[in-house]
Structure 1
Amino acid sequence: MFLSNSVSSIYRVFISNLQKEIEKQTGYRSSRKRRSESQYDYEVYHSLEEIQSWMFEMNRTHTDLVDMFSIGKSYEGKPLYVLQIGKRSRHQKKAVWIDCGVHAREWIGPAFCQWFVKEAINSYHYDSVMRRLLNQLNFYVMPVFNVDGYDFSWTTDRFWRKTRSKNHKFHCRGVDANRNWKVKWCEEGASSHPCDDTYCGPFPESEPEVKAVAKFLRKYKKRVKAYISIHAYAQMLLYPYSYKYATIPNFHCVESAAHNAVTALYSAYGVRYRYGPASTTLYVSSGSSIDWAYRNGIPYAFAFELRDTGHFGFLLPESLINPTCTETTRAVKAIASGLLKKCETDRDKFPYI
């Protein structure tokens, strides 16, 4: 009896029928008949095929604000599409990079990227803040970074995390795309075993998805002033360093931007986010994209961990897409708005890492 009581006091069942929750998001596709893009439902999760079709349609119908292009191909040969959002301009504008779906099972990520693009375009003519942002900045939005893994999470394994690259020595597939960047690669917080979820890969940028994004950001690093990667879950806003306990040189500016972002997010529904260096706020990890972006001259590098804090976890219900994306859009707008104001302690050049 003592054992029974102790177990019941430690463990709680959050989801009594896991399969049923999965089917709510992946099944019943027949009820979602193909509709025109004007009726595209942003409050349900979409497959890779649907997202890419949506990207083509946004590019076709909003030529004044949208430009679609591919930065390469995935391991399985799928195109890696990016949307450039912003008013066309003759001069080179500062830019913000946003990627979603680095980890396949975090479906709220791609849902947010679509939501943000929709909000940016639809509110351009009546939201003075968004209009100013799109006039003065370009947003590079990559709705699905890990296209192979995301597709696999729809067809085969809802909780798949990694890419889908093959390993010659092990049957286990895939690499953690957020441990594969060339910054303190495969050190603390990453695994060298191919079967682990945090496998760093055989070498830095071994994954064509990571290599393609890194190549693009290197090419435009003088223009890109903020890097934002959308993950889930934990309700946190993280910035460098991930791989060590140390303070970044422009800490005050980045800390201020993070504070403004979580304050803006809180103003929507009263949801609280923790913020701070990734190493102390979440955990130590090496080979992360925010550390790489920061090292390569992007002064504002953030990783969002969206809702929730563990009740639903990766199975965030579709009913929470709207509030989650609405509040996160406020946070991203706050970060972007900060780029238009020079932080007093910023320097044009500073020792990154």
Structure 2
Amino acid sequence: MPREVLHILVLLCVVLGLASAGRYEDYKLYEVKPETVAQRDALHAIAEESSDKYDFLSLSRIHTQSARVLVPPKHDVSFRVQLESQQIPFELRDANFGRTIHAEVLQNRMLRQSKPYSGTGRLGTERYYSHDEINAYLDDLAARYPSRVFVRVVGKSYEGRLLKTITITNGDGITGKNVVFMDGAFHAREWISPATVVYIIGELVENFDEHAELLATYDWVIMPVVNADGYEYTQLSSDTRLWRKTRQPVTVNNTVCYGTDPNRNFDFHWMEKGASSNPCSNTYAGPRAFSEPEAVVVRDVMHSLSGRGIMYLTIHSYGYALFYPWGWGPELPDTWEDLHEVAAIGADAIRSYSGTEYEVGSSTALYGEAAGASDDYAFNEGFALSYTMELPSGGSSGFDPPPTEIDRLVKETWVGIRAMGKRVTTKYPSPVTKTVV
């Protein structure tokens, strides 16, 4: 289909769709810009006390970083009054977020129809891909590179979707190498996360010669979509686009709420600070640790790499940050300097490549407590290095970089991760290995 025709069709669908902007009709999106520590603390207090009124899409411990807040029409006046009473600067970014997000969903549908994935060849960066398309790509790589690529079904989501990992090697048949374990799409609405992970898979496999040093003594195990149910749910309509959690229902006092935050569901300082016991909360930690099959799958992959797993890297958005443990509280691990060194190398590489600035530090120091997270669990289970990488924001909400931005974001992210990977292979060399006969 000619580009001009596609553009016209997309615009037509957007115009027709604006009449029904869904549940976010007339929601206001604000950017709040605290300038002092006192203003930051006041903003955190508002977020904690009014979580049932406003949706804080981002909120940092760093007082110079702005926050984005989605406010329903009935609470708009009270929200402004609260900010003004605390003298916290803010600006309106989007007067009708519903129409904006609806247009985005329609555009993604049109791109999927006009640029279908055939099941063979590399996935591009021109649009976001579904869970099934990503799984098909993994299987295609395994078929085309049988000596270097191995795909495993490691479990199922609550709704029965197959969760897969891809193990990428250099094909020399040597076992016992150290491992980098990476995952994406813990949170459903963070579409740029699996897009980035898929791009990295493509670089390691299909541009092998360029990155051979990363695979000389290390294998990479990658799970591109952890929260498959939630990820697919966000693609149904504009009403579901900002869904964050899994999809397993929880019934409390005859009220059904759906989903758990899988990044609060790990059995390490579970249900402590930064996690909610309210099943309807976006940070609900679940009825018990590892209640979510998706978290169990990630846990089991970690355990399968015991003794070899050196770096764990989970890709999220958004925040311009590389976090390391601890997230459950303000303490730092004894090896925090090692954690900081490798993360800083990644941040420096990105800055040199594109000018994008990343913050580096512990999760708690930069963004506040988030107990029960996968990075803390991995570090406690023996990974020498463990990170959450919060990618740059995009679009109106921050979670919706337009398709035209995908290529730029995934490439600059890979520059940082590649630099980290190179340092890891020298800092933590693999042990003597044996050749498979």
Per-residue deviation at 1:184? 0.6
Find the counterpart in structure 2 of residue 79 from structure 1.
162
Letter in 1 for 2:225: V
1:185 match: secondary structure: coil
Deviation at 1:135, TM superposition (A): 2.1
Cα 1:251–1:10 change in 2 (3 A) is closer
- What is the CA-CA distance between 1:39 and the residue it aligns to? 5.8
Larger Rg: 2
Corresponding residue for residue 150 of structure 1: 231
- From 41, 57, 62, the equivalent of 2:124 is 41
Structure 1: which 5+ residue stretches go unaligned? Answer: 344-353
The offset of 1:25, in angstroms, is 2.4
**Paired residue for 1:111?**
195
CA RMSD of aligned residues (A): 2.0
CA gap of 1:15–1:329, structure 2 versus 1, over 3 A, is farther
Shift of 1:22: 2.9
Q: Greater shift after overlay, 301-310 or 248-257?
A: 301-310
2:222 pairs with one of 115, 136, 141 = 141
Aligned to 2:313, the other structure's residue is in SS state strand
Of 261, 267, 274, the match for 2:352? 267
Contact 1:268-1:326 within 8 A present in 2 as well: no
Residues in 2 aligned to 1:222 and 1:186: alpha-carbon distance in whole angstroms? 28
CA–CA separation in structure 2 for the residues paired with 1:201 and 1:230: 21
Structure 1's 154 and 310: CA in aligned 2 closer, same or farther, altered over 3 A? Answer: closer
Segment drifting more, 28-37 vs 195-204: 28-37
Question: 1:281–1:118: structure 2 CA closer, same or farther, 3 Å change rule?
Answer: same
Q: Residue 153 of structure 2 aligns to a residue in which SS?
A: strand
Whole-angstrom CA distance in 1 between matches of 2:309 and 2:134? 25
Is 159-168 or 16-25 further displaced after alignment?
16-25
Matched residue, 1:349: none
Report the Cα distance in structure 2 between the residues aligned to 1:168 and 1:102, rounded to whole angstroms: 23
TM-aligned CA deviation for residue 111 of structure 1: 0.2
**Residue in structure 1 matched with residue 183 of structure 2 by the alignment:** 99
CA contact (8 A) 2:156 2:163 kept: yes
**For each residue in 1:275-332, what CA deviation from the matched residue of structure 2 results, as whole angstroms up to 9, or x when unmatched?**
1000011121110111101111111000010012785511111111111111111111
Listed one character per residue, the Cα deviations across residues 137-175 of structure 1 (whole Å, up to 9, x for unaligned) are 111111100011111111241111100112133311100
Does residue 12 (structure 1) correspond to residue 92 (structure 2)? The answer is yes
Return 246-255 or 82-91, whichever deviates more.
Answer: 82-91
Q: Counterparts of 1:26 and 1:208 in 2: how far apart (Å)?
A: 29
Secondary structure of 1:192's aligned partner: coil
Q: Find 1:30's aligned residue among 109, 113, 117.
A: 113
Distance 1:272 1:15, change over 3 A: farther
Match 1:63 to one of 143, 146, 170: 146
Alignment-derived partner of residue 244 in structure 1: 329
Q: Hey, what does 1:204 align to over in structure 2? A: 289
Counterpart residue identity of residue 275, structure 1: V
Aligned length: 336
2:200 partner letter? F
Quick one: distance in 2 between partners of 1:123 and 1:223? Answer: 25
Counterpart secondary structure, 1:215: helix
**In structure 2, what is the Cα distance between the partners aligned to 1:100 and 1:116?**
11
> Once the 2 structures are TM-superposed, how far is the Cα of residue 24 of structure 1 from its aligned partner?
1.9
Matching residue of 1:228: 313
Given that 1:96 and 1:138 are in contact with CA atoms closer than 8 Å, whether structure 2 keeps it comes out as yes
CA distance, structure 1, for counterparts of residue 108 and residue 220 of structure 2: 29
Q: Distance in 1 between matches of 2:337 and 2:205?
A: 32
The residue identity in structure 1 corresponding to 2:272 is E
Superposed CA offset, 1:27-77 (max 9, x none)? 453212344633632331011121111111111112132110011111111
Q: Indicate which of 208, 226, 236 corresponds to 1:124.
A: 208
Tell me how far apart the structure 2 counterparts of residues 46 and 163 of structure 1 sit (CA, whole Å): 19
2:386 to 288, 296, 301: 301
Instruction: Verify: 1:278 aligned to 2:374, yes or no.
Output: no
- Counterpart CA distance in 2 for 1:39 and 1:78 is 22
2:17 paired residue number: none
| Percent identity of paired positions between Structure 1 and Structure 2 | 29
Greater alpha carbon shift after TM alignment, 150-159 vs 177-186: 150-159
- Structure 2: segments with no counterpart, 5+ residues: 1-79, 429-437
**SS across alignment from 2:220:** strand
Q: Distance in 2 between matches of 1:319 and 1:176?
A: 29
Other-structure match for 1:350: none
- Any idea what SS the aligned residue of 1:302 has? strand
Change (3 A) 1:36 1:289: closer
Greater mean deviation of Cα atoms: 138-147 or 334-343: 334-343
Q: Give the whole-Å Cα distance in 1 for the aligned partners of 2:396 and 2:296.
A: 34
Q: Aligned ranges for residues 338-349 of structure 1 at < 5 Å? A: 338-342=423-427
Per the alignment, residue 21 of structure 1 pairs with 104
How much does 1:15 deviate? Answer: 7.6
Q: 1:322 aligns with which of 398, 407, 413?
A: 407
Partners of 1:259 and 1:240 lie apart in 2 by 15
Assess if the C-alpha contact under 8 Å between 2:394 and 2:401 holds in 1.
no
What TM-score results when the alignment is normalised by the length of structure 1? 0.90
The answer (yes or no) to whether the contact 1:22–1:315 under 8 Å persists in 2 is no
Q: 1:14 offset after TM fit, Å?
A: 4.3
TM-score, normalised with respect to structure 2: 0.73
Cα separation, 1, equivalents of 2:205 and 2:195:
16
